[in-house]
Amino acid sequence: MDMQPTDWMKHKFESMRTLMRWSTSTKDDLIFTPVLDLDLLDPISWCSNLEESDCECFAKALNVLPAGRWQQRRSPLFPKRREEIPSSLQLLLSECEDIRNQTRNLSQAQSQLEVLLVLLLVAKKRAESARSDSSPSPAERLHWSLENQVTMPYLKDETYCMAEGQVDYVLWYGAWEELETNLVVSWTGGDIDEPPFWNLVGNMAKIHWARRETGRQPCIIYGIMTDGAKWTFVYINPKGRYTTRVMHWANDQGKVITKINHILDEASTLAATASNCKSPLQMSVGQSSGCAILDVLRSSGDSEEERDPENRPDTEKRDEGSWEV
């Protein structure tokens, strides 16, 4: 689907520090080079969204590559200790199984995923609130947003383009303009023969690259791709090397819940210091890199002026598209 230029999108591009050029080297590898003179750019022609086959090339262009054997052994997806489901989550697992047994179609199966994500976050907030001396606890900053588009502008053969990709759920631990998330989740149920693995990795790569290139730490990110039965976890380390782990709900439901809970633990730790190290005069990650995570439902119903985040009240900036739990 071809994108049409809007004043809002032009403004966002013009406010960026650099654009990136997607070009082909002699080895047919895709590389990025900065485009520094924005005044010379006239965004007249727009290319369509990236095809599934392009997502792998795009991720490689952002220097996100498979991890080596040594890096795989050190990945948090493969902990050295045996994973045991916490006793506090045993009841949650039973509730999820009850919901699963009542699931009869794909729509209900996706609803089950949403229930699982929300209940895990509720359990995390309650547990931290009970033992936290501070009020509110860092976990209170955590929230989910749903139906998001991860976007990044680039130039390909002198054509002004936008790389878009959809993720169903994003876990936020801080400010959206700083891309302060450590988990994106994609639902793959339906008539898809093969899960869109590179679409997920491509979206993760955009977020990872944007935070890494603007000097934000940490720049690690997790991804989950699931149809409710098969769960594929992806982890990108600080150097841009990714590892994967596949689990099946029928045999590994405890491991699935435990792994998501570990990711929530990390997000809660990150929430304690999120956005605190940035100077007031420093450009945000979104402004510097052009990468953004947009709320599809909210953006489709807003005017261009309302869609511009700079015109929104602070409360809306913080809680855009979130589930209150």
> Over the stretch 102-132, which tens digit does the pLDDT of each residue have?
655 666 677 788 888 998 998 889 888 877 6
313 or 121: which leads in pLDDT:
121
Q: Which band of pLDDT confidence, cut at 50, 70 and 90, is reported for residue 164?
A: confident
Q: Which band of pLDDT confidence, cut at 50, 70 and 90, is reported for residue 101?
A: low
Place of tokens 């890199």: 289
List alpha helices for 214-284, DSSP H: 249-271
Interval 167-171 mean pLDDT = 95
Place of tokens 């000097």: 215
Helix axes 90-101, 106-131, angle to 10 degrees: 170
Lowest mean pLDDT among 8-12, 182-186, 195-199: 8-12
What pLDDT does residue 21 have? 58
Residue 220 has pLDDT above 80, yes or no: yes
Q: Which band of pLDDT confidence, cut at 50, 70 and 90, is reported for residue 28?
A: very low
Lowest mean pLDDT among 68-82, 90-104, 265-279, 297-311: 297-311
What pLDDT does residue 262 have? 93
Contact 155, 169 (CB under 8 A): no
17 or 82: which leads in pLDDT:
82
Q: Rounded to two decimals, what is the model's pTM?
A: 0.78
CA distance 202 to 195: 13
∠268-199-103 over CA atoms, to 5°? 70
202 or 32: which leads in pLDDT:
202
Residue 144 burial (C-beta neighbours within 10 Å; 0-12, 13-18, 19+)? buried
Q: Report residue 244 as tokens.
A: 């994967």
What pLDDT does residue 52 have? 64
Interval 283-307 mean pLDDT = 71
CA distance 281 to 170: 27
With a pLDDT cut of 70, the percent of the chain lying above it is: 59
Q: Report residue 83 as tokens.
A: 């994973």
How many CB atoms neighbour CB 281 within 10 A? 5
Average pLDDT for the chain: 74
Interval 34-57 mean pLDDT = 53
